[in-house]
Amino acid sequence: MKLFVYHTPELTPTDHNPDCAVVIDVLRATTTIATALNAGAEAVQAFSDINQLMTVSEAWAADRRIRAGERGGKQVEGCDMGNSPLLCTPEQVQGKRLFISTTNGTRTLQRVENAPVVLTGAQVNRQAVVDYLSQHQPETVWLVGSGWEGAYSLEDTVCAGAIALPFYEQNPAIVGNDEVLGAVSLYRQWQDQLVELFCQASHGQRLLRLDLLDDIKYCAQTDLLNVLPLQVEKGLLTLKS
């Protein structure tokens, strides 16, 4: 198995796909996806285009769908919620499909949707990702951060490092690019201070300006949920059984 870390979807190779892609958007899309599925959502369907989300979700009865739209950290007008995992309670999402479009994470999902296996990872479900990779040993694995509108983000890279660390400790030969070592080093330095790191990160600063510290604290929890969102068709994620 070889691990590769890419800080943004724009940095991934365009001439081939990995055997397994792990999409990471800690603040907050992949945290929200894991939380919604853990709370009993029927599935999560991701869209990079908010208008397409609105059109497709129209086919679903209003009591069986939730429209989650976020741009710049704020809820999109006409949607039921933004991108806060704290709103994904069983009372809110159980048995419903979450239709989601966010600034960064859903774009990353679209970039790797043709890989044979697509998972989503976050701090909250890190161990579930590690367990899957340990069990299945895909030959090439891309840990793809979502960044912020094409730019590097600390929180996605530290999460990639958290996923990569146990494999690197077992066998340093798993390193496929320099970014893996950078991500592992970042996680080793900050693993006990993730809330502080997220608050210093540029996107954390945006969320703080929107009074969303509780979201940051939630997203910074490691191994909170034993769930693994798996793409079952392009853009559609359910829990791996």
The rounded mean pLDDT for the chain is: 95
Task: Express each pLDDT in 42-58 by its tens digit.
Answer: 999 999 899 999 999 99
Q: Which of 100-104, 152-156, 188-192 has the lowest mean pLDDT?
A: 100-104
Sheet of 140-145: strand order equals: 2-6, 140-145, 20-24, 117-121, 229-233, 236-239, 43-46, 97-101, 65-71, 74-75
Percent over 70 (pLDDT), the chain:
100
pTM: 0.96
Q: What is the pLDDT of residue 62?
A: 93
Q: For 27-42, what is the mean pLDDT?
A: 96
Among 103-107, 141-145, 160-164, 214-218, which is the least confidently predicted range?
A: 103-107
Given a cut of 90, whether residue 174 has pLDDT beyond it is: yes
- How do strand 236-239 and strand 229-233 relate by DSSP bridges? antiparallel
Q: Residue 24: CB partners within 8 Å, gap ≥ 6?
A: 30, 108, 120, 121, 122, 143, 144, 145, 146, 156, 159, 160, 163
With a CB cutoff of 8 Å and minimum separation 6, the contacts of 222 are: 123, 124, 126, 162, 191, 194
Question: Helix or strand or coil: residue 3?
Answer: strand
- Contact yes or no for 29/37 (Cβ under 8 A): no
DSSP 3-state of 134: helix
Residue 241 has pLDDT above 80, yes or no: no
Q: How far apart are CA 219 and CA 213, in angstroms?
A: 10
Three-class SS of 62-75: HHHEEEEEEECCEE
> Residues 51-80: pLDDT tens digits?
999 999 999 999 999 999 998 888 999 899
Give me the pLDDT at residue 7, please: 97
Other CB atoms within 10 Å distance of the CB of residue 214? 11
